Amino acid sequence: MDTFDAIPETALRWHRDGDGAALATVIETWGSAPRRVGAQLAISGQGTIEGSVSGGCVEGAVIVEALEALETGEARELEFGVSDDDAFAVGLACGGTIRVLVEPVGSVLPEPMLADLVAARAARKPAAYVVDLDKGKRRLDFTGHETRFRMDRSGFEDDSRTFVAIHNPPLRLIVVGAVHIAQALVPMARIAGYDPVIVDPREAFGSAARFPGERILHDWPDEAVAQLGLDARTALVLLTHDPKLDDPALEAALRSGVFYIGALGSTRTHAKRVERLAQAGFTADEIAQIHGPIGLDIGAAGPAEIAVSILAEMTRVLRKGA
């Protein structure tokens, strides 16, 4: 599972501390490559590393190349074949090939640009780091790559020499209503790469005993979502059946750009919800963002299966659009 890393942040810190730093990025793969395109490894001038570009097969060679690149101050494009034996050792069925771009910070990747990227990540602002490999030009884009942002997909543009590295905020799930379905959904979502938050002003429901180790807010939902913030990497799931709890959070989400809104309830319950929102001034297109009844229709019975259907629908919307 790819989680939100601190690799650019680490590289910037090493560079500013005077140790020197380079970033190695997977820019292309063929076959059964261990890491996806966009995966990164930070290498300090002292040989310290964070992250990975493979399952351990080629890191040693990348480190050597990165240390040499730091000395010469030039970028390097590397290509490695992962043998079947090496692939098997890291849990893959067969080998593959990966291309890696090594960029020393300062001489190739400008420190101010890396600092801007780190600041965007801290602010949960999607950023695209764009490299023209032929001309050696680099820039940060915050718009213009909507499909890549939505699908969280780094890769080459059509000209095959312009690489776009997508830096999205981590996925986040806000669950309003600490009910049985939430007890099943939250751990499933965490496994799938989400950072979940449970919101329920009823402390008997939203207790540490029922949700061990999870972040729980006992605020009213509208106050909680205002505190947390809503963005294109956030999913909102409403499970209380109580309009007093669901509707304020729902109204905040409909104009926020969250990628998924799901609300528990029957078709009849959802029809009443639509009527209330229309009376509150929301348009039909805005209301149509709500997935209600929530989840894919898989004939789910019981809280765990309903949670599976919700997570499946969230995944479909995230990867394929609404």
Residue 243 has φ and ψ, to the nearest 5°, of -55, -30
The token duo for 92 is 């893959």
Give the C-alpha separation, 274 to 223, whole Å.
22
Cβ-proximal residues to 27 (8 Å cutoff; 6+ apart), any chain = 37, 77, 99, 100, 101, 156, 163
Q: What is the pLDDT of residue 308?
A: 98
Residue with token string 């997909």: 153
DSSP calls for 10-21: HHHHHHHTTS-E
The token duo for 233 is 């990497």
Q: How confident is the model at residue 315 (pLDDT cuts 50, 70, 90)?
A: very high
Closest CA to 292 of 317, 257, 268: 268
In three state form, how does the secondary structure of 93-107 look?
Answer: CCCEEEEEEEEEECC
Residue 308 DSSP one-character state: H
| Long-range Cβ pairs for the range 65-71 (8 Å, 24+) | 65/102, 66/22, 66/24, 66/102, 66/104, 67/22, 67/43, 69/22, 69/102, 69/103, 69/104, 69/108, 70/20, 70/21, 70/22, 70/43, 70/45, 70/104
**Domain boundaries in the chain?**
7-167, 172-320
pLDDT digits over 60-109, tens only?
889 999 999 999 999 999 988 766 555 555 444 455 688 999 999 999 99
The token duo for 223 is 């106050």
Residue type, 42: A
Under a CB-based contact definition with an 8 Å cutoff, are residues 29 and 97 in contact? yes
Give the C-alpha separation, 154 to 166, whole Å.
5
pLDDT digits over 187-238, tens only?
999 999 899 999 999 999 999 999 999 999 999 999 999 999 998 899 999 9
Residue type, 220: W
pLDDT digits over 253-293, tens only?
998 989 999 999 999 999 999 999 999 999 999 999 999 99
Closest CA to 262 of 305, 311, 298, 302: 311
Looking at every residue in the chain, the average pLDDT score rounds to: 90
Q: What is the pLDDT of residue 152?
A: 86
| 64-92 residues labelled b (16+ CB within 10 A) or e (exposed) | ebbbebbeeeebbebebebeeebbeeeeb
Residue type, 93: A
User: For domain 172-320, is the CATH number 3.40.50.720?
Assistant: yes
Q: What is the pLDDT of residue 91?
A: 45
Residue 140 has φ and ψ, to the nearest 5°, of -110, 130
Res 124 pLDDT > 90: no
